[in-house]
Chains A and B, each alone.
Chain A
Amino acid sequence: MGRLRKSTVNILLVAALVVIFAVSFVVGGTRTDPEERFGGTDGAATAQIEESNPDYQPWFEPFFQPESGEVESGLFALQAALGGVVLGFAFGGLWGRRRSKAAAPDGRPSPDPAA
């Protein structure tokens, strides 16, 4: 596979991702009433238990509960950010390692027949 072909494939993959979520958003939006649109499935499962087993009492409470949706989404963003930093660092490190190896005269720059 040539260089052009490779990046074309990547662009098509990204485009497919965009299409999946665009379709999900539009189709999902038509299926629910605006009040409860795009609620979490985890919450829906809990609601299902409460409905089918009204006698069940959760026997343990979280030690810490984010007080509002805003605080909660901030903490989720923190999780994504931490993961993103580590992911970026790891890719950066691997990239730098490969470059220095390719530059070194005795390094063995492995041929890249493209995935």
Chain B
Amino acid sequence: MHIAEGFLPVAHCVAWYAVSTPFIVHGARAVVKQAKEHPESRLLLAAAGAFTFVLSSIKLPSVTGSSSHPTGTGLGAVLFRPPVMAFLSTIVLVFQALLLAHGGITTLGANVFSMGIAGPWVGYAFWTLSNKLKLNRNVGVFLALAFADLSTYVVTSFQLALAFPDPVSGIFGSVAKFMGIFAISQVPLAIAEGILGVLVFRLLTDVARPELERLGVLGSLAVKEA
């Protein structure tokens, strides 16, 4: 999902920065507020950030014969709501842009939008929906993480298609081409990320139950289970 440095026209670069900046600022304030008002949740906040940091560094093979990396943004979105992930993802993407030449400063706005904003919100929507449907919590976590991951790559495909429409088939033809590169490869990775997320979440309910209860993550489902 990292659009390479310089690979978005100037107008797109500026536009995506304009869209993402308010989310990043709002997210930074959400992180500070969370850490200040609830010092006991700092460790959990660090865990959410670290989870994204680790997962987005690991490139894994996919059935299509290419390799890609998960995003790890769904966990933090479920625990702390999506805004914090806009900020935490920005840290990850800046690190990768400056040290690894992966992604870039000119494409940071667009990359933050796909990974730090769209992905977490889609994941959170699936989490909320599965709570409403009273699905098993493990299923909710799986869906949240898997779709946060997959939707990030779908959004990247649209971003690239908007910048580079196909001369014949237009934007939608171009979307199909980029989806062919990103989306199918990402399906097994998204499933794997969902499973890993369920494992981590189960571990968290063991070691951090009071914190999760305070965040309301175990909410109505916990009542139902008891």
Residues of chain A whose beta carbon lies under 8 Å from any beta carbon of chain B: 6, 9-10, 13-14, 16-17, 20-21, 23-25, 27-32, 37-42, 44-46, 48-49, 52-53, 56, 58-66, 72, 75-77, 79-80, 82-87, 89-91, 93-95, 97-98, 101, 110, 112-113, 115
Q: List 7 A-B contacts (CB under 8 A).
A: A9-B202, A45-B160, A49-B160, A72-B101, A79-B53, A82-B53, A94-B211
Q: Which residue of A lies closest to B178 (CB)?
A: A45
Residues of chain B whose beta carbon lies under 8 Å from any beta carbon of chain A: 1-7, 9-10, 40, 43-44, 46-47, 49-68, 95-102, 104-106, 137-138, 153, 156, 160, 164, 166-167, 174, 177-178, 181-182, 185-186, 188, 191-192, 195-196, 198-199, 201-211, 213, 225-226
Q: Which residue of B lies closest to A45 (CB)?
A: B181
Complex alpha-carbon distance, A91 and B202, angstroms: 12
A45 touches B53 (CB 8 A): no
Complex alpha-carbon distance, A96 and B203, angstroms: 14
Residues of B within 8 A of A62 (CB): 5, 97, 101, 104
Q: How far is the CB of A67 from chain B (nearest CB, A)?
A: 10
